[in-house]
Amino acid sequence: MPVATPEIYRNMLKAAQDGNYAYPAINVTSTETANAALKGFADSGSDGIIQVSSGGGEFASGLNVKDIAVGSITIAEHVHRLAEHYNIYIALHTDHCVKKKLDAFVRPLIDVTVQLRAAGQGNLFQSHMFDGSELPLAENMSIAAELMEICRDNEIILEVETGVVGGEEDGVDHSDAPADKLYTTPEDMVEVYKTLSAVGGDFMLAATFGNVHGIYKPGNVKLRPKILKEGQDAVAAKFGEDARMWLVFHGGSGSELSDIHETLGYGVVKMNIDTDTQYYFTQPIAEHVDANRAELTHTKTEVANKKKFDPRSYLKKAEENMANRVAMGCKDLKSVGQTLYGK
Protein backbone atom coordinates (compact mmCIF):
# COMPACT_ATOMS: atom_id res chain seq x y z
CA MET A 1 0.00 0.00 0.00
CA PRO A 2 1.36 3.46 -0.80
CA VAL A 3 2.08 5.98 1.93
CA ALA A 4 -1.13 7.14 3.60
CA THR A 5 -3.22 9.70 1.77
CA PRO A 6 -4.22 12.85 3.68
CA GLU A 7 -7.65 11.34 4.33
CA ILE A 8 -6.20 8.08 5.62
CA TYR A 9 -3.74 9.96 7.83
CA ARG A 10 -6.57 11.98 9.38
CA ASN A 11 -8.48 8.73 9.94
CA MET A 12 -5.42 7.22 11.59
CA LEU A 13 -5.15 10.08 14.07
CA LYS A 14 -8.88 10.12 14.75
CA ALA A 15 -8.92 6.35 15.34
CA ALA A 16 -6.01 6.67 17.77
CA GLN A 17 -7.71 9.47 19.70
CA ASP A 18 -11.02 7.60 19.84
CA GLY A 19 -9.32 4.32 20.76
CA ASN A 20 -6.91 5.69 23.39
CA TYR A 21 -3.76 4.57 21.60
CA ALA A 22 -0.97 6.41 19.76
CA TYR A 23 1.53 5.88 16.98
CA PRO A 24 5.27 5.74 17.48
CA ALA A 25 6.92 8.44 15.36
CA ILE A 26 10.37 7.14 14.49
CA ASN A 27 13.19 9.48 13.49
CA VAL A 28 15.28 8.08 10.65
CA THR A 29 18.50 9.21 9.00
CA SER A 30 19.11 6.63 6.27
CA THR A 31 17.53 3.90 4.17
CA GLU A 32 18.63 1.35 6.77
CA THR A 33 16.90 3.08 9.67
CA ALA A 34 13.82 3.72 7.51
CA ASN A 35 13.70 0.02 6.66
CA ALA A 36 13.94 -0.82 10.36
CA ALA A 37 10.99 1.44 11.14
CA LEU A 38 8.90 -0.11 8.36
CA LYS A 39 9.73 -3.61 9.59
CA GLY A 40 8.89 -2.79 13.20
CA PHE A 41 5.49 -1.35 12.25
CA ALA A 42 4.68 -4.22 9.88
CA ASP A 43 5.71 -6.88 12.41
CA SER A 44 3.32 -5.25 14.89
CA GLY A 45 0.39 -4.85 12.51
CA SER A 46 0.51 -1.15 13.34
CA ASP A 47 0.27 1.92 11.19
CA GLY A 48 3.00 4.39 11.99
CA ILE A 49 4.83 7.64 11.40
CA ILE A 50 8.35 7.95 10.00
CA GLN A 51 9.95 11.34 10.46
CA VAL A 52 13.07 13.25 9.48
CA SER A 53 14.74 16.05 11.40
CA SER A 54 16.84 18.78 9.80
CA GLY A 55 19.99 17.02 11.03
CA GLY A 56 18.73 13.71 9.71
CA GLY A 57 17.97 15.24 6.33
CA GLU A 58 21.42 16.82 6.13
CA PHE A 59 23.08 13.51 7.01
CA ALA A 60 21.03 11.61 4.43
CA SER A 61 22.18 13.97 1.67
CA GLY A 62 25.84 13.00 2.19
CA LEU A 63 28.96 14.85 3.24
CA ASN A 64 29.40 16.70 -0.05
CA VAL A 65 25.80 17.90 -0.46
CA LYS A 66 24.73 18.53 3.15
CA ASP A 67 21.33 19.83 2.12
CA ILE A 68 18.51 19.45 4.65
CA ALA A 69 15.69 19.37 2.11
CA VAL A 70 17.44 17.17 -0.47
CA GLY A 71 18.26 14.51 2.11
CA SER A 72 14.71 14.58 3.47
CA ILE A 73 13.33 14.13 -0.05
CA THR A 74 15.54 11.11 -0.71
CA ILE A 75 14.36 9.40 2.48
CA ALA A 76 10.72 10.23 1.72
CA GLU A 77 11.00 8.85 -1.80
CA HIS A 78 12.58 5.67 -0.45
CA VAL A 79 9.73 5.20 2.02
CA HIS A 80 7.13 5.87 -0.67
CA ARG A 81 8.64 3.06 -2.77
CA LEU A 82 9.01 0.55 0.04
CA ALA A 83 5.66 1.26 1.69
CA GLU A 84 3.93 -0.24 -1.34
CA HIS A 85 5.19 -3.65 -0.19
CA TYR A 86 3.65 -3.48 3.30
CA ASN A 87 0.09 -4.08 4.50
CA ILE A 88 0.08 -1.11 6.86
CA TYR A 89 -0.19 2.66 6.46
CA ILE A 90 2.81 4.94 6.94
CA ALA A 91 2.72 8.72 7.24
CA LEU A 92 5.80 10.88 6.63
CA HIS A 93 6.56 13.81 8.93
CA THR A 94 9.32 16.35 9.51
CA ASP A 95 10.44 16.92 13.08
CA HIS A 96 11.49 20.11 14.98
CA CYS A 97 11.95 22.94 12.50
CA VAL A 98 12.81 26.19 14.23
CA LYS A 99 12.11 29.60 12.70
CA LYS A 100 15.58 30.12 11.21
CA LYS A 101 15.40 26.81 9.30
CA LEU A 102 11.94 27.18 7.78
CA ASP A 103 13.26 28.49 4.46
CA ALA A 104 15.79 25.66 4.15
CA PHE A 105 13.67 22.80 5.46
CA VAL A 106 9.89 22.94 5.71
CA ARG A 107 9.00 25.49 3.03
CA PRO A 108 10.99 23.74 0.25
CA LEU A 109 9.37 20.42 1.16
CA ILE A 110 5.91 21.98 1.06
CA ASP A 111 6.82 23.40 -2.35
CA VAL A 112 7.59 19.88 -3.58
CA THR A 113 4.17 18.71 -2.42
CA VAL A 114 2.52 21.66 -4.17
CA GLN A 115 4.27 20.66 -7.40
CA LEU A 116 3.34 16.99 -7.00
CA ARG A 117 -0.31 17.82 -6.39
CA ALA A 118 -0.37 20.10 -9.44
CA ALA A 119 0.82 17.09 -11.46
CA GLY A 120 -1.97 14.93 -10.05
CA GLN A 121 0.24 13.06 -7.57
CA GLY A 122 0.11 12.65 -3.80
CA ASN A 123 1.83 14.58 -1.03
CA LEU A 124 5.52 13.93 -0.38
CA PHE A 125 5.14 14.48 3.38
CA GLN A 126 1.81 14.24 5.14
CA SER A 127 2.72 16.52 8.04
CA HIS A 128 5.36 19.02 9.09
CA MET A 129 6.39 20.46 12.44
CA PHE A 130 7.09 24.10 13.16
CA ASP A 131 8.85 24.46 16.51
CA GLY A 132 8.27 28.04 17.65
CA SER A 133 8.52 27.13 21.31
CA GLU A 134 11.44 29.51 21.95
CA LEU A 135 9.47 32.47 20.60
CA PRO A 136 6.87 34.54 22.44
CA LEU A 137 3.53 32.82 21.98
CA ALA A 138 2.14 35.62 19.81
CA GLU A 139 5.04 35.33 17.34
CA ASN A 140 4.91 31.53 17.49
CA MET A 141 1.23 31.56 16.54
CA SER A 142 1.64 34.25 13.90
CA ILE A 143 4.15 32.13 11.99
CA ALA A 144 2.11 28.97 12.63
CA ALA A 145 -1.03 30.60 11.20
CA GLU A 146 0.84 31.59 8.04
CA LEU A 147 2.13 28.03 7.62
CA MET A 148 -1.31 26.67 8.45
CA GLU A 149 -2.82 28.40 5.43
CA ILE A 150 -0.60 26.65 2.91
CA CYS A 151 -0.84 23.37 4.81
CA ARG A 152 -4.64 23.62 4.78
CA ASP A 153 -4.67 24.26 1.05
CA ASN A 154 -2.51 21.18 0.39
CA GLU A 155 -4.03 18.75 2.94
CA ILE A 156 -0.91 18.78 5.10
CA ILE A 157 -1.21 18.45 8.87
CA LEU A 158 0.83 21.02 10.81
CA GLU A 159 2.38 20.19 14.17
CA VAL A 160 3.21 23.08 16.48
CA GLU A 161 4.78 23.28 19.92
CA THR A 162 4.22 25.45 22.97
CA GLY A 163 6.42 25.23 26.00
CA VAL A 164 9.93 23.81 25.60
CA VAL A 165 11.06 20.19 25.48
CA GLY A 166 14.20 20.05 27.59
CA GLY A 167 17.50 18.42 26.66
CA GLU A 168 19.17 18.38 23.23
CA GLU A 169 18.26 16.71 19.96
CA ASP A 170 19.79 17.23 16.52
CA GLY A 171 21.24 20.63 17.34
CA VAL A 172 18.12 21.98 19.07
CA ASP A 173 19.44 22.49 22.60
CA HIS A 174 17.07 23.40 25.42
CA SER A 175 19.25 21.99 28.19
CA ASP A 176 19.18 25.31 30.05
CA ALA A 177 15.47 26.01 29.62
CA PRO A 178 13.81 27.53 32.70
CA ALA A 179 11.73 24.99 34.62
CA ASP A 180 8.47 26.84 34.01
CA LYS A 181 9.00 26.66 30.23
CA LEU A 182 8.88 22.85 30.41
CA TYR A 183 5.15 22.97 31.15
CA THR A 184 2.52 24.27 28.74
CA THR A 185 -0.29 26.22 30.37
CA PRO A 186 -4.02 25.77 29.71
CA GLU A 187 -4.05 29.36 28.45
CA ASP A 188 -1.40 28.48 25.87
CA MET A 189 -3.43 25.51 24.64
CA VAL A 190 -6.56 27.65 24.34
CA GLU A 191 -4.62 30.21 22.30
CA VAL A 192 -3.25 27.52 19.98
CA TYR A 193 -6.71 26.16 19.27
CA LYS A 194 -8.21 29.63 18.85
CA THR A 195 -5.53 30.72 16.36
CA LEU A 196 -5.21 27.60 14.22
CA SER A 197 -8.86 26.57 14.15
CA ALA A 198 -9.67 30.04 12.78
CA VAL A 199 -7.42 29.28 9.79
CA GLY A 200 -8.91 25.86 9.17
CA GLY A 201 -7.22 22.58 8.34
CA ASP A 202 -5.79 19.93 10.65
CA PHE A 203 -3.07 20.35 13.24
CA MET A 204 -1.36 18.61 16.15
CA LEU A 205 0.02 20.22 19.29
CA ALA A 206 3.20 19.19 21.07
CA ALA A 207 2.26 20.47 24.51
CA THR A 208 5.02 20.06 27.07
CA PHE A 209 4.58 18.51 30.48
CA GLY A 210 8.17 18.15 31.67
CA ASN A 211 9.39 16.27 28.58
CA VAL A 212 13.12 16.01 27.96
CA HIS A 213 14.95 14.80 24.86
CA GLY A 214 17.62 12.17 25.38
CA ILE A 215 17.91 9.33 27.85
CA TYR A 216 18.36 9.61 31.58
CA LYS A 217 18.51 7.47 34.68
CA PRO A 218 15.09 6.55 36.15
CA GLY A 219 13.65 9.36 38.25
CA ASN A 220 15.63 12.16 36.60
CA VAL A 221 12.74 13.31 34.41
CA LYS A 222 9.60 14.49 36.21
CA LEU A 223 6.60 14.29 33.89
CA ARG A 224 3.24 15.77 34.80
CA PRO A 225 0.80 14.26 32.26
CA LYS A 226 -2.22 15.85 33.94
CA ILE A 227 -1.11 19.15 32.41
CA LEU A 228 -2.41 17.75 29.12
CA LYS A 229 -5.79 16.98 30.68
CA GLU A 230 -6.04 20.45 32.20
CA GLY A 231 -5.27 22.06 28.87
CA GLN A 232 -7.69 19.88 26.92
CA ASP A 233 -10.41 20.55 29.48
CA ALA A 234 -9.84 24.31 29.16
CA VAL A 235 -10.12 24.09 25.36
CA ALA A 236 -13.28 21.95 25.57
CA ALA A 237 -14.87 24.32 28.10
CA LYS A 238 -14.38 27.28 25.76
CA PHE A 239 -14.91 25.71 22.33
CA GLY A 240 -16.80 22.44 22.95
CA GLU A 241 -15.87 18.78 23.31
CA ASP A 242 -15.04 18.40 19.62
CA ALA A 243 -12.23 20.91 20.07
CA ARG A 244 -10.05 18.45 22.00
CA MET A 245 -6.78 18.41 20.05
CA TRP A 246 -4.46 15.74 18.71
CA LEU A 247 -1.48 15.90 21.06
CA VAL A 248 2.13 14.85 20.55
CA PHE A 249 4.45 13.44 23.21
CA HIS A 250 8.05 14.55 22.58
CA GLY A 251 10.98 13.05 24.43
CA GLY A 252 9.30 9.63 24.54
CA SER A 253 12.49 7.55 24.76
CA GLY A 254 13.03 6.15 28.23
CA SER A 255 9.72 7.41 29.63
CA GLU A 256 7.89 5.47 32.35
CA LEU A 257 5.17 3.22 30.91
CA SER A 258 2.65 4.51 33.44
CA ASP A 259 3.21 8.09 32.22
CA ILE A 260 2.90 7.00 28.60
CA HIS A 261 -0.39 5.22 29.24
CA GLU A 262 -1.80 8.15 31.19
CA THR A 263 -1.18 10.53 28.27
CA LEU A 264 -3.16 8.30 25.89
CA GLY A 265 -6.34 9.14 27.76
CA TYR A 266 -5.66 12.86 27.35
CA GLY A 267 -5.41 12.90 23.56
CA VAL A 268 -1.82 11.92 22.73
CA VAL A 269 -1.90 10.27 19.30
CA LYS A 270 1.81 10.48 18.40
CA MET A 271 4.92 9.84 20.48
CA ASN A 272 8.39 10.60 19.17
CA ILE A 273 11.06 7.94 19.65
CA ASP A 274 14.61 8.70 18.59
CA THR A 275 17.24 8.17 21.29
CA ASP A 276 16.16 4.60 22.04
CA THR A 277 16.05 3.55 18.40
CA GLN A 278 19.52 5.04 17.82
CA TYR A 279 20.81 2.96 20.72
CA TYR A 280 19.13 -0.24 19.51
CA PHE A 281 20.52 0.28 16.00
CA THR A 282 24.08 0.78 17.24
CA GLN A 283 24.33 -1.99 19.82
CA PRO A 284 24.53 -4.95 17.38
CA ILE A 285 27.21 -3.06 15.44
CA ALA A 286 29.25 -2.57 18.62
CA GLU A 287 28.83 -6.26 19.48
CA HIS A 288 29.85 -7.29 15.96
CA VAL A 289 33.02 -5.20 16.17
CA ASP A 290 33.88 -6.52 19.64
CA ALA A 291 33.35 -10.14 18.58
CA ASN A 292 35.23 -9.89 15.28
CA ARG A 293 37.83 -7.21 15.88
CA ALA A 294 40.77 -9.44 14.92
CA GLU A 295 39.20 -10.18 11.53
CA LEU A 296 38.16 -6.61 10.68
CA THR A 297 41.61 -5.12 10.07
CA HIS A 298 44.43 -6.00 7.70
CA THR A 299 47.70 -6.81 9.44
CA LYS A 300 51.23 -7.35 8.14
CA THR A 301 50.63 -11.09 7.99
CA GLU A 302 46.86 -11.51 7.49
CA VAL A 303 44.08 -9.91 5.50
CA ALA A 304 40.74 -9.00 7.04
CA ASN A 305 37.73 -11.31 6.61
CA LYS A 306 35.48 -9.87 3.93
CA LYS A 307 32.42 -11.62 5.34
CA LYS A 308 32.98 -9.79 8.61
CA PHE A 309 33.67 -6.29 7.27
CA ASP A 310 30.91 -6.35 4.64
CA PRO A 311 28.55 -3.63 5.97
CA ARG A 312 25.58 -5.90 5.28
CA SER A 313 26.85 -8.37 7.89
CA TYR A 314 26.24 -5.91 10.73
CA LEU A 315 23.65 -3.53 9.26
CA LYS A 316 21.14 -6.37 8.94
CA LYS A 317 21.58 -7.03 12.65
CA ALA A 318 21.17 -3.32 13.34
CA GLU A 319 17.96 -3.17 11.28
CA GLU A 320 16.53 -6.19 13.10
CA ASN A 321 17.31 -4.80 16.54
CA MET A 322 15.97 -1.32 15.79
CA ALA A 323 12.81 -2.92 14.37
CA ASN A 324 12.41 -4.71 17.70
CA ARG A 325 12.49 -1.36 19.50
CA VAL A 326 9.90 0.07 17.11
CA ALA A 327 7.69 -2.94 17.85
CA MET A 328 8.20 -2.32 21.57
CA GLY A 329 7.00 1.25 21.01
CA CYS A 330 3.86 -0.05 19.28
CA LYS A 331 3.19 -2.31 22.25
CA ASP A 332 3.76 0.50 24.77
CA LEU A 333 1.43 2.82 22.85
CA LYS A 334 -1.20 0.10 22.31
CA SER A 335 -1.18 0.38 18.51
CA VAL A 336 -0.38 -3.31 17.90
CA GLY A 337 -2.89 -4.81 15.48
CA GLN A 338 -4.66 -1.48 15.03
CA THR A 339 -3.79 -0.90 11.37
CA LEU A 340 -6.57 0.61 9.31
CA TYR A 341 -5.29 -1.20 6.22
CA GLY A 342 -8.05 -3.28 4.69
CA LYS A 343 -10.71 -1.83 6.96
* 8 Å CB contact between 127 and 138: no
What is the distance between the alpha carbons of residues 49 and 152, in angstroms, rounded to a whole number? Answer: 20
Catalytic residue among 47, 67, 95, 276: 95
Active site annotation includes 95: yes
CA–CA separation, 302 and 294 (whole Å): 10
Instruction: Tell me if residue 202 falls in helix, strand or coil.
Output: coil
Closest residue by Cα to residue 100 from 76, 134, 63: 134
d(CA 158, CA 257): 27
d(CA 69, CA 74): 9
Cβ neighbourhood burial of 120 (10 Å; 0-12, 13-18, 19+): exposed
Strand partners, 272: 25
Contact 74, 60 (CB under 8 A): yes
- Cβ within 8 Å of residue 204, ≥6 positions away: 13, 127, 157, 158, 159, 160, 245, 246, 247, 248, 269, 270
Beta bridge partners of 27: 51
Cβ contacts of 129 within 8 Å, gap of 6 or more? 93, 94, 95, 96, 97, 106, 158, 159, 160, 161, 206
Report, as residue numbers or ranges, the catalytic residues: 95
